[in-house]
């Protein structure tokens, strides 16, 4: 199921304070930053911080007290508010979420779309043909449908070109433990940016290793990079599937004046082998 929204005037409202839930909206030279600290754990809704046509440049989910099995993970617009989640089965572990956005409202006629559903293993959806537009990520939510928590082998959301000359794209979402086809629910929020406002429509970087990752953007990269997709996967040395708890999941595409990017996907000890893949577009 998908819904479409077209540009309209929007106002960012100040956030309401709370004793154990804090969020802020801060200007940056390349966008707006959302920061949420949730000391109670579980899903939380905060006053609107994501621009109506905001597109992701970075995100950082981090359990404050070590690695956990995963029940759900979310960062998305929810009407006039923002929903965040990073939880295991009991939903009482403290965590933080940070994200940086560019506001694509100025790129009229920008459109926004939400795709949601339920699947198992790796799920793909072919998106409608929008010739002359490039899809980028705004928000996402993934949660195991059985309401329980599980170790994770692979976690990801990506917008993959099928035929670039026609603008056809495929949405790929994955939340799995080894080869188990355990059902999960997903919601992905997409912003379609006019091709005339894009320098590079699809660039993919990544690496394999342990701990943090620092894949380089190409040295000739121009403009601000915005996220089209990410994939985190635990693996053995021979490349086969592995599964672990999750402490941190992060992607940062870097400032417009530098080529470095950063990513993290690890459990509490941070020494497990993992593969990271990140795809992005660059804005003019």
Domain segments of the chain as ranges: 2-283
What count of residues does the chain have?
A: 284
Report the mean per-residue pLDDT for the chain. Answer: 80
| 124 pLDDT more than 70 | yes
- How many C-beta neighbours within 10 Å does residue 164 have? 12
| 246 pLDDT more than 80 | yes
| 5 pLDDT more than 70 | no
Whether the CB-CB separation of 31 and 57 falls below 8 Å is answered with yes
User: Which range has the top average pLDDT, 62-71, 157-166, 272-281?
Assistant: 62-71
For residues 275 and 210, the model is more confident at 275
**Tens of pLDDT, residues 165-188:** 566 899 999 999 987 789 999 999
Residue with tokens 């799920």: 123
Whether the CB-CB separation of 250 and 261 falls below 8 Å is answered with no
Of the pLDDT bands very low, low, confident and very high (cuts 50, 70, 90), residue 7 is: very low
| 284 pLDDT more than 60 | yes
For residue 105, what is the DSSP state? G
Whether the CB-CB separation of 150 and 182 falls below 8 Å is answered with yes
| pLDDT score at 194 | 92
Beta bridge partners of 54: 103
- Vertex 23: Cα angle to 79 and 232 (nearest 5): 80
| 4 pLDDT more than 60 | no
Which string of b and e fits 17-52 if b means at least 16 CB within 10 Å? eeeebebebeeeebbbbbbbbbeebbbbebbbbbbb
pTM here is 0.85
Beta bridge partners of 258: none
Q: From residue 175, give the alpha-carbon distance in Å to each of 28, 32, 85, 119, 244.
A: 32, 28, 15, 9, 13
| pLDDT score at 164 | 60
Whether the CB-CB separation of 18 and 36 falls below 8 Å is answered with no
Q: From residue 151, give the alpha-carbon distance in Å to each of 47, 137, 232.
A: 31, 25, 13
Q: Which two tokens stand for residue 252?
A: 């940062």
Of the pLDDT bands very low, low, confident and very high (cuts 50, 70, 90), residue 16 is: very low
**Structural domain 2-283, CATH architecture:** Sandwich (2.60)
| pLDDT score at 112 | 92
| 131 pLDDT more than 70 | yes
């Amino acid at each position: 199921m998908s819904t479409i929204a077209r540009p309209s005037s929007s106002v960012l409202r100040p956030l309401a304070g709370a004793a154990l839930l804090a969020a802020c909206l801060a200007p940056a030279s390349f966008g707006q930053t959302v920061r949420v600290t949730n000391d109670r754990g579980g899903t939380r809704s905060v006053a609107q911080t994501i621009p109506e046509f905001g597109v992701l440049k970075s995100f950082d989910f981090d359990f404050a007290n070590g690695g956990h099995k995963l029940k759900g993970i979310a960062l998305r617009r929810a009407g006039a508010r923002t929903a965040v989640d990073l939880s295991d089965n009991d939903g009482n572990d403290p965590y933080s979420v940070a994200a940086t956005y560019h506001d694509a409202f100025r790129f009229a006629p920008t459109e926004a779309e939400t795709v949601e559903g339920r699947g198992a293993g790796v799920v793909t959806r072919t998106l409608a043909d929008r010739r002359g537009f490039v899809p980028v990520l705004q928000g996402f939510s993934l949660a195991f449908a059985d309401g329980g928590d599980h170790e994770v082998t692979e976690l990801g959301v990506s917008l993959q070109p099928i035929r670039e000359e026609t603008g056809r794209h495929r949405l790929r979402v994955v939340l799995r433990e080894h080869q188990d086809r355990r059902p999960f629910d997903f919601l992905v929020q997409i912003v379609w940016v006019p091709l005339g406002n894009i320098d590079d429509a699809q660039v993919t970087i990544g690496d394999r290793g342990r701990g943090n990752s620092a894949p380089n953007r190409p040295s000739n990269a121009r403009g601000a990079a915005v996220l089209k997709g990410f994939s985190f996967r635990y693996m053995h040395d021979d490349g086969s599937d592995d599964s672990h708890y999750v402490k941190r999941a992060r992607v940062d595409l870097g400032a417009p004046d530098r080529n470095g990017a950063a990513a993290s996907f690890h459990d509490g000890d941070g020494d497990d082998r993992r593969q990271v893949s990140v795809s992005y577009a660059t804005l003019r």
